[in-house]
């Protein structure tokens, strides 16, 4: 099993670019597609423990913009976990986990640390 996991959805441009970069640079990784492989409460809790909420939620995404204002008003961690379980496409992509380090978004400079 790879020490690196890339999380995202296959039709996301930043996920495509990230996978292409990792493949081109011979970085071995496991791929977890939120739509195909699903997302568990424990994974969301892991993300929340290690990634700031402002970095984790993509407020520029179409999925976020389509949410009713009532759902965007998150008061508790439990509400946030529920929102992300129900709407995994509002999670900023990709998330790359290497050991206990998390990279959010496409960033070749950070990716070089994976080699």
Residues taking part in catalysis: 12
Coil/strand/helix, residue 52: coil
Alpha carbon distances (Å) from 39 to 34, 44, 77, 114: 6, 7, 17, 24
Q: Which pair of structure tokens corresponds to residue 35?
A: 């739509």
Give the residue from 30, 37, 29 showing the smallest Cα distance to 9: 37
**Using the 8-state DSSP alphabet, how is residue 102 labeled?**
E
Coil/strand/helix, residue 95: strand
């Amino acid at each position: 099993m790879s020490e690196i996991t890339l999380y995202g959805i296959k039709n996301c441009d930043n996920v495509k670019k990230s996978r292409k970069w990792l493949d081109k640079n011979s970085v071995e990784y496991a791929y977890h597609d939120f739509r195909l492989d699903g997302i568990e409460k424990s994974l969301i809790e892991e993300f929340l423990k290690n990634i700031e909420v402002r970095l984790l939620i993509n407020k520029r995404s179409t999925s976020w913009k389509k949410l009713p204002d009532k759902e965007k008003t998150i008061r508790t961690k439990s509400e946030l976990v529920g929102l992300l379980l129900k709407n995994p496409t509002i999670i900023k992509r990709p998330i790359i986990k290497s050991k206990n380090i998390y990279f959010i978004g496409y960033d070749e400079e950070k990716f070089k640390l994976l080699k």
